[in-house]
């Protein structure tokens, strides 16, 4: 009796759900027909307003011109009951729910092709209930107004095949042919990609792509699309991928920029969430294709270690426009964007912000600390012993200018402790680095993981003489009728003193200055023969990372190299990244006016002995360094070591 009641209850629930769905379907039928021609189309333009990528209308291909192999592979794998249901496969949903509840994990999904197409008509893929309800309603409307072939055609023309959208684009990209000409082997490889593009792209992981292909072929056999013999022959076919044979003129890294653009697009509130509201989008970006090519060519020329990875950003520091970017060495092999998503230790590239704070607190280019092997002792007998590169120490007082030129770690830690350990973290927040909360002594040496874009924002404040600007990719977005939906309005915030920034920028030229070749060599001296202009530069090295940031008024370039598995880097990697940086700067600025910062009225230059920081004597080596008027060196200056009581010098 109890079983009969339960069965009756279930029947009532099912009938109620069925009647509800029929009612919704009828209502959807009488609503205006959706216009989906060209929907999900986006068109990206560069800084010269020239189209460089997108889903152009000529790439849309009708269903009758797509290979039956691809169509059958997609239906068999994604939605075998596609031609039988009305948008939702309720039996499949119930089955998936039962399996997932039983296992306690999400082992199966139940989205139909129509549901997946509905998702493709939105800009983002958040999982809120509000969004899911919108998708469900759109699914019903699609089924009410379009036949199955039209829905399938739209789906295949908008689906993501590993950063390539639409089957015609994908067929040309992977195999150099129209989707009409795909063989069974080629079609089943492509049909496997949308499930998880970063896992099943044959260019990224061919082993996983073949496993997915085997599953698809097996499904096609089970659903009577092909024979077992045909499946085996397709699986055994050796495929050649055109994308791996791209000539050197093609930009293999530019798609990292494209991904960054799409990530930024999703954060813009004024853009409608659905492509159906706009008919597609025209996205005007800051990409300079010439500088992007220079970035890629320079990286390919200098960074010849096949395993090491790369992140690079080229930016106009005056307004925050990101002109070029790469998040890796080859997008085909890894789509992870290390420039926008990764955080790594930044090493000595953090020191300019320490020294700006020092200048702001009374230090000058001539302020000295003794640099020698030192152990710093703190409360509870905790100790810290920083080491200079190659364990080299002058064992005498050196100027701040020398400390910057050689990237002296002992001097940096002494400065950090003298100012107070919270001083640097506050300074970083001031220039836009909000992720740092570490106030330990090691912060002075960059033992904190920071994202490349945050570092670019901070360095821009030095390069533009004191203003915090936001790095951005998109200048404007319009709908297909040309109506402007969004336009970026720069909002620079003055956070640094122009006079102090000038002094620091001049100090950062010492890293390549011949006057500092002495007991040590400036960190970037090796690339000085390539320089035809004046640059402020700071490099940094940790056990696992190499970084360099450098700039003048017109251009800011930041680079990182390292290994995804945190394998140790070596000295040749450091040399390679520096050569990459100088090549990018020099070639990007070629033919342009040579500019440097105008000396402020409140700043004076003095010929200084580079190491001691004293006024240069006749016949001695000298370098013009800059000071806020009234802070020039005198004979009364002294080393500040004695005012840091927690220092114990090792014997």
| pLDDT tens for each residue of 242-269 | 865 554 445 678 989 999 998 999 888 8
| Confidence (pLDDT) at 249 | 47
Least confident of 136-140, 300-304, 401-405, 464-468: 136-140
Dihedral angle at the C-alpha atoms of 190, 191, 195, 197, nearest 10 degrees? 10
Band the pLDDT of 39: cuts 50, 70, 90: low
Answer with the residue of higher pLDDT: 125 or 409.
Answer: 409
Tokens 């720069």 sit at which residue?
A: 490
| Confidence (pLDDT) at 277 | 59
**Is residue 304 over pLDDT 90?**
no
| pLDDT tens for each residue of 424-475 | 999 999 999 998 877 889 999 999 999 999 999 999 999 999 999 999 999 9
The backbone torsions φ and ψ at residue 429, rounded to the nearest 5 degrees and listed phi first, read: -65, -35
Q: What superfamily does domain 61-245 belong to in CATH?
A: Biosynthetic peptidoglycan transglycosylase-like (1.10.3810.10)
Closest CA to 264 of 278, 276, 281, 247: 281
The backbone torsions φ and ψ at residue 75, rounded to the nearest 5 degrees and listed phi first, read: -65, -45
DSSP 559-595: EEEE-TT-PPP-HHHHHHHHHHHHHHHHHHSTTS---
Provide the whole-model pTM.
Answer: 0.83
| pLDDT tens for each residue of 578-621 | 999 999 999 999 999 988 999 999 999 999 999 999 998 866 68
Q: Tell me the average pLDDT of the chain.
A: 87
| pLDDT tens for each residue of 130-163 | 667 777 777 777 877 788 898 899 889 888 888 7
DSSP 443-495: GGGT-SEEEHHHHHHHHHHHHTTSEE---BSEEEEEETT--EEEE-----EE-
Band the pLDDT of 369: cuts 50, 70, 90: very high
| Confidence (pLDDT) at 495 | 97
Q: Which two tokens stand for residue 620?
A: 């001695």
Contact 609, 637 (CB under 8 A): no
Direct distance between the N- and C-terminal alpha carbons of the chain, in angstroms, rounded to an integer: 92
**Is residue 502 over pLDDT 90?**
yes
**Is residue 631 over pLDDT 90?**
yes
Band the pLDDT of 90: cuts 50, 70, 90: low
Band the pLDDT of 651: cuts 50, 70, 90: very low
Contacts of 519-528 spanning 24+ positions with Cβ under 8 A: 519/392, 519/394, 519/611, 520/392, 520/394, 520/405, 520/406, 521/406, 522/405, 522/406, 523/348, 523/405, 523/406, 523/407, 524/548, 524/550, 524/578, 526/575, 526/578, 527/578, 527/579, 527/581, 527/582
| Confidence (pLDDT) at 313 | 98
Tokens 């920034």 sit at which residue?
A: 501
| Confidence (pLDDT) at 189 | 96
Provide, rounded to the nearest whole percent, the portion of the chain with pLDDT above 90. 60
Instruction: Give the three-state DSSP class for 608.
Output: strand
Q: Which two tokens stand for residue 292?
A: 């992007």
Using CA atoms, how far apart are residues 521 and 511, in angstroms rounded to an integer? 9
Q: How far is CA 622 from CA 179, 399, 509, in A?
A: 69, 13, 14
Q: Which two tokens stand for residue 86?
A: 């009305």
**Is residue 518 over pLDDT 70?**
yes
The residues pairing with 549 across neighbouring beta strands, listed in sequence order, are 538, 558
Q: What superfamily does domain 294-649 belong to in CATH?
A: DD-peptidase/beta-lactamase superfamily (3.40.710.10)
Closest CA to 649 of 369, 240, 398, 367: 369
Answer with the residue of higher pLDDT: 570 or 450.
Answer: 450
Q: What is the mean pLDDT of residues 236-244?
A: 85
Using CA atoms, how far apart are residues 373 and 408, in angstroms rounded to an integer? 11
| Confidence (pLDDT) at 535 | 98
| CB atoms closer than 10 angstroms to residue 49 | 11
| Confidence (pLDDT) at 317 | 98
Q: What is the mean pLDDT of residues 563-590?
A: 95
The domains of the chain are located at 1-30, 61-245, 294-649
DSSP H stretches of helix in 303-408: 351-360, 400-406
| Confidence (pLDDT) at 49 | 93
Closest CA to 546 of 313, 299, 344: 344
Sign of the four-CA dihedral 186, 189, 193, 194: positive
| Confidence (pLDDT) at 100 | 52
532 DSSP assignment? S
| pLDDT tens for each residue of 48-89 | 999 887 655 457 889 999 999 999 999 999 888 888 877 666
Catalytic residues, by residue number, are 78, 348
């Amino acid at each position: 009796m109890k079983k009969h009641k339960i069965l009756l209850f279930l029947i009532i629930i099912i009938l109620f759900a069925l009647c509800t769905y029929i009612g919704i379907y009828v209502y959807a039928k009488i609503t205006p027909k959706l216009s989906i021609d060209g929907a999900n189309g986006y068109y990206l333009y560069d800084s010269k307003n020239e189209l460089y990528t997108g889903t152009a209308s000529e790439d849309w291909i009708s269903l009758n011109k797509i290979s039956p192999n691809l169509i059958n592979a997609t239906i068999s794998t994604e939605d075998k009951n596609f031609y039988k249901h009305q948008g939702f496969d309720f039996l499949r949903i119930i089955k998936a729910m039962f399996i997932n509840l039983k296992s306690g994990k999400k082992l199966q999904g139940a989205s139909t092709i129509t549901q997946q197409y509905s998702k493709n008509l939105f800009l983002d893929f958040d999982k809120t209930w509000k969004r899911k309800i919108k998708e469900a309603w759109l699914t019903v409307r699609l089924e009410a107004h379009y036949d199955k072939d039209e829905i399938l055609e739209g789906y295949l023309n908008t689906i993501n095949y590993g950063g390539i959208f639409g089957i015609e684009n994908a067929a040309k990209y992977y195999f150099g042919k129209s989707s009409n000409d795909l063989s069974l082997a080629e079609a089943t490889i492509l049909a496997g990609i949308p499930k998880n593009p970063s896992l099943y792209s044959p260019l990224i992981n061919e082993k996983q792509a073949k496993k997915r292909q085997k599953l698809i072929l097996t499904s096609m056999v089970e659903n009577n699309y092909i024979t077992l013999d045909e499946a085996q022959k397709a699986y055994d076919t050796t495929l050649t991928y055109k994308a791996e044979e791209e000539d050197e003129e093609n930009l293999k890294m530019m798609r990292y920029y494209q991904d960054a653009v799409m990530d930024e697009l999703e954060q813009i509130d004024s853009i409608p969430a659905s492509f159906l509201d706009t008919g597609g989008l025209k996205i005007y970006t800051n990409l300079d294709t010439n500088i992007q090519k220079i970035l890629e060519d320079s990286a390919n020329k200098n960074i010849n270690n096949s395993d090491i990875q790369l992140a690079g950003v080229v930016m106009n520091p005056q307004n925050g426009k990101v002109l070029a970017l790469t998040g890796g060495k080859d997008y085909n092999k890894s789509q992870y964007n290390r420039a926008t998503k990764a955080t790594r230790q930044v090493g000595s590239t953090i020191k300019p912000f320490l020294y700006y704070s020092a200048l702001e607190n009374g230090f000058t280019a001539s302020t000295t600390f003794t640099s020698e092997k030192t152990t710093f002792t703190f409360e509870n007998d905790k100790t810290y012993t920083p080491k200079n590169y190659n364990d080299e120490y002058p064992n005498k007082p050196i100027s701040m200018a020398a400390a910057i030129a050689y990237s002296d770690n002992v001097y940096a830690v002494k400065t950090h402790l003298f100012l107070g350990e919270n001083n640097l973290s506050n300074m970083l927040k001031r220039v836009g680095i909000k992720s740092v909360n570490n106030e330990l002594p090691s912060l002075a040496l960059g033992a904190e993981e920071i994202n490349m874009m945050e570092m670019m924002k901070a360095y821009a404040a030095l390069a533009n003489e004191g203003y915090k600007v936001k790095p951005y990719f998109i200048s404007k977005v319009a709908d297909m009728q040309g109506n402007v939906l969004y336009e970026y309005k720069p909002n620079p915030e003055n956070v640094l003193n122009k006079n102090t920034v000038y002094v620091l920028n001049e100090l950062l030229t010492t890293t390549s200055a011949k006057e500092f070749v002495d007991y040590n060599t400036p960190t970037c001296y090796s690339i000085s023969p390539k320089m035809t202009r004046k640059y402020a530069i700071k490099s940094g090295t940790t056990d696992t990372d190499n970084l360099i940031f450098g700039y003048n008024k017109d251009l800011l370039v930041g680079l990182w190299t390292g290994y995804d598995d945190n394998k140790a880097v070596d000295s040749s990697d450091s040399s390679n990244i520096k050569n990459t940086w100088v090549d990018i700067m020099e070639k990007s600025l070629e033919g342009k006016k040579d500019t440097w910062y105008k000396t402020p009225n409140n700043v004076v230059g003095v010929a200084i002995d580079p190491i001691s920081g004293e006024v240069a004597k006749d016949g001695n080596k000298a370098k013009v360094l800059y000071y806020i008027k009234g802070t020039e060196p005198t004979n009364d200056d002294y080393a500040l070591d004695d005012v840091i009581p927690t220092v114990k010098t090792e014997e």
